């Protein structure tokens, strides 16, 4: 699975993209976040206030209970500030 990060989240993680192998039991975004939180504490600050994080699955706005699989591209980013 490809995970992408943008804006201050990217800077905090130290990279814009990473590839992870998703265990079978990770079937939605919420479970992925729990998994990352246990993997490394650098993820904790990002997912501390989940309501401030936006999610895209395969480049479409999604939510914490959206289903995911190992072939998906997930992105985590802060609320947008373009325009």
Partner 1 sequence: MSKISPAIKIKIQNEDFDISEETKILHQNNTGAIVNFVGVVRGYDEKNDQIINSMVLEHYPGMTEAEIEKIIIGSYKRWELTGVTVIHRIGKLKPSDQIVFVGVSSKHRQNAFDACNFIMDWLKTKAPFWKLEENNNIKNWVEFNDTDNQALKKWEK
Chain contacts with partner 1 (rule: CB under 8 A): 4, 6-8, 56, 59-61, 75, 77-83
CB of 74 vs partner 1, minimal distance in Å: 12
Q: For 12-69, what is the HEC assignment?
A: HHCCCEEECCCCCCCCEHHHHHHHHHHHCCHHHHHHHCHHHCEEEECCEEECCCCECC
Return the number of the residue (28 or 54) whose C-beta is nearest partner 1: 54
Q: Smallest distance, Å, CB 20 to partner 1?
A: 19
In the complex with partner 1, the residue whose CB is nearer, 8 or 38, is 8
């Amino acid at each position: 699975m490809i995970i992408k990060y943008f804006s201050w989240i990217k800077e905090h993680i130290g990279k814009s993209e990473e590839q992870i192998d998703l265990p079978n039991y990770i079937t939605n975004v919420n479970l992925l976040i729990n998994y990352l939180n246990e993997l490394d504490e650098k993820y904790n600050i990002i997912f501390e206030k989940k309501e401030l994080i936006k999610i895209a699955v395969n480049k479409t706005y999604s939510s914490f209970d959206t289903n995911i699989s190992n072939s998906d591209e997930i992105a985590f980013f802060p609320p947008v500030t373009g325009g």
